[in-house]
Structure 1
Amino acid sequence: MKKVLQMKISNHESNVQILKDVSSNLISTFCGDMFSFALGLMLLHATGMSLSFGLSMIIMPIVTLIGLVPIGNLVDTYRHKHILVISLMVRIIALVIYAITIGHFNGTGKLGPTIIFLAVNYVSVNVSNSGYTASVHELVNTSHIQRLNSLSQAASSFASTFSPVIAASLYVLVGFRSFIIFQLAAHTIALIILVSMHFHYASTPKKELSVSHESQLGKFKLGLQYLMSHKFLRYLICVALFLNFIFAVTNVGLPFIVVQHLHLGNLTLGILNSADAVGMLAGNLIISMAPEIKQLAKILATTMCVIGFALCGIGWLFIADPSMWTVRIIGALMVFSVGMSLAFMNTPFGIYMQKTVPTSLMGRVSSTEMSLNMISIPIGTVFYSFIFQLFPNGFVFIASGILMLGVTGLTMPTFIHTRMPDQDEDVEMEKE
């Protein structure tokens, strides 16, 4: 029997790593969201096509599905810091090339280089997301995983709330090329922070240069086998798929009902969308300050019920033919509760994965989970777009809320006593 020791990460070092990670995530997400918004505006002005703002939503799922097997295997084969640094450098190089070349194209000709850039960018983003998920145990100790996840999610929510407003204001003043500079600066800062972070690897490292004779598909099947053998984890991923499908009712329904059906204006829609992001921000901040989550299934069941009742409430509100201020106030409170509930769904799920899935399989498991979620989003969008054309009223929200409550009531009792793993796997035993 041989012990494979992993250096114990102190609480102080975990806190320093969290500060670095949250700072990097805030800067990257904020500038990234501003750049995406400015890119959409630039393409809209250049091509006049409504597709300009939806280009990312088309390319992202395609790239995610194509990269499902190789990205998961890549993350589980090489040291995570090396992968993250190379991935970010690829993103910087791609952005520099795009900045140099985009000015040589006009009108719809700008779509070609933009599609190529977005494809390369999303491959890099997927590698970074999977690599980051798999490296959490190498950055902080087990007791700090909850704080790391919640604060990182809070940083993303903050950026998503305020970046579009700032981007819309700055675009008129500085133009698209300035946003490229902002994005390059953000990537550079993120790279410097990443290089300064200490990844604690096991004392028996992976052999990066060894050539495996196992096929890419064979390696990936190991991750699928683990996923299929873990009943509660499999259930959580199914819940995530269901949630992404159901939440298309808000992505599609809120703009359609508020602007087109009730004629309450874009400002009302903006308030509701902001309430959702602020709710997620508040939820993650609460989680970051709360004691370590133990009763995982009970928290998930509660939040799913809150989401179901909130969707029903939004539906009744729209049916009641309310005034503009009623929708802005009561509707915002309901959407806020949905956003906060989502934080209490997403963050504990991420923590559970990082505490349960072996580090050697995390890349493949997380890549599978992200790809499945990416598939469910466009399916839900197409479904609810069709439904709202037939039934343009709040009953669709009510039906979705009832469906959410029904699924929770039928499935959650089986797992209601499931707790969050709390063991610290600093020492692993390996048979010689």
Structure 2
Amino acid sequence: MEISDHESNMQVLKDVSSNFISTFCGDMFSFALGLMLLRATGMSLSFGLSMIIMPIVTLIGLVPIGNVVDTYPHERILIISLVVRIVALSVYAATVGRFTGVGKLIPTIGCLIINYASVNLSNSGYLASVHELVNDAHIQKLNSLSQSSASFASTFSPIVAAGLYALVGFNLFIIFQLMAHLIALGILLTMNLHYVHPNQVSKAPQESQWAKFKLGLDYLMTQAFLRYLICIALFLNFIFAVINVGLPYIVVEHLHLGNVTLGILNSADALGMLIGNLVISVSPELRHLAKILTITMIIIGTGLMGVGTLLMVAFDKLMVQLVGSLMLFSVGMSLAFMNTPFGIYMQKTVPTELMGRVSSTEMSLNMMSISLGTVFYSFIFQLIPNGSVFIVSGIILVAVTGLTMPSFMHIQMPTSDQDPKRADLQHR
């Protein structure tokens, strides 16, 4: 069944609204949870608990989540996933008050494990259901506006959470999160998913979970450009840890420029991603995919070199705030033109019946690369606490782009009236 432009626009509006509410309240809850645990336990681990649990849960769920998404109707998966999160959070709200001190980690870890398993299932199910929500002409708008709403929510939610926490305490944030889940569930129930490729239980029940999952890996092995994109995404996530780890360490601890300066720089990066995705949402269909990715990666690498140079030569707070913000704004905007087209390309080329396994693999590998990058750069900045680490990372990124991208420069994004499977075969 063909999805009309009007219905596609309505689905985009619902999806963006749900994504904004979920991200905004979810980020506020995570911020408040970290503050609560920090006060209760006195452990610096409080704010890093998610970064420990998330990769472990993602790795364990890699095979079963991909298989489930490609086996059962996506709408059912998304609904069940949300209901599980609502139940888990309700149980957490009823039990966390019974624990004190370090003991609060017990219900918190249990809740986070269930939450991240459910989120991974929802994310894979969502990626696989895009063709069931909108027609191909609206995939770019859906991706870019969803990313924009998430960027906007992530930018301002910590500010709101910090102000509210001092006034209302942690328990109200649990209520906010529950309300967000219920609203998201209500919106989901009004959305109409058209099953382009009806998912059915496998006709070979004796087939092992690994054998089913391996079909997705076999598909990836035949797609040279898609494999390259995933490898570049892993490399970029690893490299980008230089900002997540190095910026707070150098700006606050080494240069003593204050939390306000760090907040301005982080907001500039998030604002760049927001503006970039808004630009994509109103742009014609992206066509020259490899050229776009090449330009964005060079800008990101150059931006990292610029930030590193600035942190080495400029100790004036205002200069770091102004010039650094411009550089990180360009990096954030370039990331939007990297992430969103990559997602669009996957949704336009990967067969729907394999999307769960392919997306689950890609998300799991990305999570691992972020964690490894965080550990690596944490060690490096202990040895070399200055901007030279940014400069070297930027040079490596530009060099890798120049050495690997030219062979794929002819690759273009499939158009909305092009058969995704036929387009994909052309890139093998």
TM-score for both structures, normalised by structure 1: 0.96
Q: How does 1:151-162 map to 2 (within 5 A)?
A: 151-162=145-156
- Pair 1:98-2:76 in alignment: no
TM-score for both structures, normalised by structure 2: 0.97
- Pair 1:55-2:55 in alignment: no
Give the alignment's Cα RMSD to 1 decimal: 1.4
The structural deviation recorded for 1:425 is 6.6
Cα distance in 1 between the residues matched to 2:164 and 2:417: 47
Letter in structure 2 aligned against 1:86? I
Match of 1:188 among 164, 170, 182: 182
Letter in structure 2 aligned against 1:232? F
Match of 1:233 among 217, 220, 226: 226
Cα distance in 2 between the residues matched to 1:178 and 1:416: 52
Distance 1:276 1:27, change over 3 A: same
Cα distance in 1 between the residues matched to 2:304 and 2:87: 44
**Would you say the 8 A contact 2:349–2:420 is kept in 1?**
no
Match of 2:355 among 337, 362, 368: 362
Q: Extract unaligned runs of 5+ from structure 1.
A: 1-6
Q: Extract unaligned runs of 5+ from structure 2.
A: 423-428
Cα distance in 1 between the residues matched to 2:185 and 2:419: 28
* Superposed CA offset, 1:359-385 (max 9, x none): 000000000000000001111111111
**Would you say the 8 A contact 2:351–2:421 is kept in 1?**
no
2:401 matched residue in structure 1: 408
- Pair 1:382-2:385 in alignment: no
2:300 matched residue in structure 1: 307
- Pair 1:111-2:99 in alignment: no
**Would you say the 8 A contact 1:8–1:426 is kept in 2?**
no
- Pair 1:17-2:6 in alignment: no
* Superposed CA offset, 1:131-150 (max 9, x none): 00000000000010000000
Cα distance in 2 between the residues matched to 1:427 and 1:265: 50
1:343 matched residue in structure 2: 336
Cα distance in 2 between the residues matched to 1:311 and 1:428: 37
1:89 matched residue in structure 2: 83
1:3 matched residue in structure 2: none
Q: Which has the higher contact order (CA 8 A, sep 6+)?
A: 1
* Superposed CA offset, 1:61-100 (max 9, x none): 0000000000000000000000000000000000000000
1:254 matched residue in structure 2: 247
Cα distance in 2 between the residues matched to 1:259 and 1:175: 27
Match of 1:138 among 132, 136, 140: 132
Cα distance in 1 between the residues matched to 2:302 and 2:158: 29
- Pair 1:263-2:256 in alignment: yes
Cα distance in 1 between the residues matched to 2:25 and 2:104: 22
Match of 2:237 among 220, 239, 244: 244
- Percent identity reads 72
Residues 375-384 or 73-82, more deviating: 375-384
2:144 matched residue in structure 1: 150
- Pair 1:198-2:192 in alignment: yes
3-state secondary structure, aligned to 1:247: helix
The structural deviation recorded for 1:422 is 1.4
3-state secondary structure, aligned to 2:8: helix
Letter in structure 2 aligned against 1:97? V
**Would you say the 8 A contact 2:74–2:125 is kept in 1?**
yes
Cα distance in 1 between the residues matched to 2:310 and 2:199: 56
**Would you say the 8 A contact 1:79–1:208 is kept in 2?**
no
* Superposed CA offset, 1:109-160 (max 9, x none): 0001100000000000000000000000000000100000000000000010
Letter in structure 1 aligned against 2:161? A
Letter in structure 1 aligned against 2:233? A
Cα distance in 1 between the residues matched to 2:168 and 2:202: 47
Cα distance in 1 between the residues matched to 2:281 and 2:175: 33
- Pair 1:352-2:345 in alignment: yes
**Would you say the 8 A contact 2:217–2:358 is kept in 1?**
yes
- Pair 1:28-2:10 in alignment: no
Cα distance in 1 between the residues matched to 2:203 and 2:392: 54
Cα distance in 1 between the residues matched to 2:176 and 2:401: 44
Letter in structure 2 aligned against 1:340? M
- Pair 1:324-2:352 in alignment: no
Letter in structure 2 aligned against 1:319? M
Distance 1:58 1:94, change over 3 A: same
The structural deviation recorded for 1:423 is 4.7
3-state secondary structure, aligned to 1:421: coil
Letter in structure 2 aligned against 1:185? M
